[in-house]
Structure 1
Amino acid sequence: MSKSSVDAVIFDIGNVLIEWQPERHYDAVVGEARRREMFAAVDLHAMNDRVDQGGNWRETVMECARAYPEFASEIRMWYFDWMQMAAPAIPQSVALLRALRAKGVPVFALTNFGIENFEFAQTQYPFLTEFDRAFVSGRMGCVKPHRPIYEQVESACKIDPKRLLFADDRAENLDVPRSRGWQVHLFDGPTRWAERLVDAGLLTRQEAQL
């Protein structure tokens, strides 16, 4: 392999290392029709954004449940059933994280995640404790796709932005870092991500399990 142009690899978490599909859980528990009715009436993703920006997880969910009593029990699931929504892990992605670290490549997380639920997730998914640095929006007070969160990463890690490689499953989360010189990868599955890591000279095909 040629010398890599990457000094650190940055993983998003939701739908990169762990599946995050709240709608799927609601469909299984309350049915698709009820889920559609609730999501049309209640902006649950906006509620979750408040948690990701540092709001207290339980209090934010319970406040929303009180505001929409007709959906209160379902909204409370966002707290009580959260681990069923943030599941399962994506094993190939976890293996890539560990393969990079075994090679001595610094691996960071950059994730929109609340303070309390990230700490809870770490108790359920040990690999979430294995990053060299975890940049968690709830702790940082800002979220993707807005510029300040990427500026904070650059300031903290002191790595030339051109030598950062960032994988995220949402295209809008890649626009700002791309404009700042980061190398980016739109994650649509672990196989293509593995190939990108090999192409970057970070892993061999065997190490990437290709």
Structure 2
Amino acid sequence: MKIVFDFGGVLFRWHPPSFLARVWPHRAPDEDAGAAIAKDFFQAYTGDWGAFDQGLADADTTATRIAERTGWPRDEIVAVMNAVPQELQLIEGTAALIAELKQAGHTLHFLSNMPVPYAEYLESSHPLDEWFESGVFSGRVKQSKPAQEIFDLARSAFGVDASELLFLDDHPANIEAAQALGWQAWLFTTPETAREELVRRGLLAA
């Protein structure tokens, strides 16, 4: 079994409502306001941000498009975008789970919707090549989850049949897409529940 990790919300912190409440307090004074603003800012990772995720638009273009669409000052949007790397803090429990899986002899990969600048930041800040045998960033393949194309690209890159892949992701739509293509998949909520599931599947010792 090859185990495939999503990044945002799984290995690295990514929670837009609290993120926006921290970095944009004059617009998002609390998480409820942050959640509402996130819908316009990130568009559920479609639209302007989706193009950024897929490497079809660079950061400058994306900031301009968001400003034109929303009326928010462009410099404020740039400040939010520049703050994203620091939001992507390592989730220590997941890092420990990765170490345990590797110690148990499992091969790990990643499949992440991630714009190229943030992918480069993560590569420079963390030993991804030590943790994972290989991985796919959406910004580099010009496709993003939950589209079938990125799952097909990933399966080919990982060099195994879909049924041999167990995918951990925190978005139900991505889990459903993977399962429809024959992957095994499980909805990630916390490192602790993920470990329980891996034990249940016989991939880790209790």
TM exceeding 0.5: yes
- Deviation at residue 58 of structure 1 after TM alignment: 2.6
Contact 2:64–2:74 (Cα < 8 Å) also in 1: no
Q: 1:170 to 1:40 in 2, by over 3 A?
A: closer
Distance 1:160 1:175 in 2: 17
Aligned to 2:19: 25
Contiguous gaps of at least 5 residues in structure 1? 1-6, 206-210
SS at match of 1:49: helix
Match of 1:76 in 2: 78
What is the match of residue 7 of structure 2? Answer: 13
Q: How many aligned positions are there?
A: 198
Moved more, 25-34 or 194-203: 25-34
Higher relative contact order (CA 8 A, sep 6+): 1
1:180 aligns with 2:160: no
Once residues 109 and 189 of structure 1 are traced to their aligned partners in structure 2, the CA distance between those partners, rounded to angstroms, is: 17
Q: Which moved more, 1:41-50 or 1:183-192?
A: 41-50
Whole-angstrom CA distance in 1 between matches of 2:128 and 2:57: 24
Distance 1:66 1:161, change over 3 A: closer
Distance (whole Å) between structure 2 residues aligned to residue 81 and residue 40 of structure 1: 14
Aligned to 2:168: 167
Counterpart of 1:3 in structure 2 is: none
Tell me: CA distance 1:62–1:9, structure 2 relative to 1, closer, same or farther (3 Å): same
Counterpart residue number, 1:132:
133
Q: Secondary structure at the match of 1:81?
A: helix
AA in 1 matched with 2:20: Y
Moved more, 38-47 or 17-26: 38-47
State the shift of 1:25 in Å. Answer: 2.6
Structure 1 residue 65: Cα displacement: 5.8
1:203 offset after TM fit, Å? 1.5
CA contact (8 A) 1:65 1:76 kept: no
Query: 1-side partners of 2:129 and 2:58: how far apart?
Result: 19
Q: How many percent identity over aligned positions?
A: 27
Distance (whole Å) between structure 2 residues aligned to residue 89 and residue 51 of structure 1: 22
**Aligned letter for 2:155?**
E
Which residue does the alignment assign to 2:37?
39
Q: TM-score, normalised by structure 2?
A: 0.84
TM-score by length of 1: 0.82
Give me the CA root mean square deviation: 2.5
User: Residues 177 and 18 of structure 1: is their aligned pair in 2 closer, same or farther, counting only changes over 3 Å?
Assistant: same
Does the CA contact (< 8 Å) of 2:109 and 2:158 recur in 1? Answer: no
Unmatched 5+ stretches in structure 2: none
Question: Given the alignment of the two structures, is residue 153 of structure 1 paired with residue 154 of structure 2, yes or no?
Answer: yes
Q: Distance in 1 between matches of 2:24 and 2:175?
A: 34
Tell me the distance in 2 between the aligned counterparts of 1:154 and 1:41: 31
Q: Which residue of 2 aligns with 1:117?
A: 118
Aligned-residue offset at 1:78: 3.0
Q: Deviations over 1:112-146 (max 9, x none)?
A: 01122101122223347521111111111111011
Computing the radius of gyration from Cα coordinates, the structure with the larger value is 1
